[in-house]
Amino acid sequence: MGKIRIFDSLHNKIIDVDKVHKTDSEWKKLLTPEQYRITTKKGTEQPFTCTFDNIKEPGVYRCVRCGAGLFKTATKFNSGTGWPSYYEPVSDLNIRLEEDNSYGMHRTEVLCARCDAHLGHVFDDGPPPTGKRYCINSAALVFGT
């Protein structure tokens, strides 16, 4: 199993962790059907169905598959798109970006660096200070500290 470096938001430091590898059938057993469809099959949830819209308290949105910290409440904003949007990740170490040309569109896919879960897409039309809009499926996340 290889090791990767991620930023541990709980302890505020970079740590080495095992890369998470599971088979398709293992993910299917561990996740709800919606979580599996989104994170493993690169699905998209319907807009305006976000389960995190009303969360305002400080915390971290973590990967539903491996628990890696991905986005902080403080970086969440209302983009008007119908999907949870953040202007920056907890750390660039915790996500991986890939070109996505599916469905005749050119986009940048956002994946969890630790387990390769599909999270959503990033666009260049977000607010300062980054100008980025990480448009993330809520089924790919859990909220906590």
Catalytic one among 66, 112, 115, 135? Answer: 135
Q: What is the DSSP secondary structure assignment for residue 21, as one 8-state letter? A: -
Cβ–Cβ < 8 Å for 2, 18? yes
- Please say if 50 is a catalytic residue: no
3-state DSSP assignment of residue 141:
strand
Cβ–Cβ < 8 Å for 87, 102? no
Residues β-bridged to residue 120: 110, 136
CA gyration radius for the chain?
Answer: 14
Give the neighbor-by-neighbor strand order of the sheet with 133-136.
76-77, 85-86, 133-136, 118-123, 107-112, 95-100
Catalytically active residues are: 135
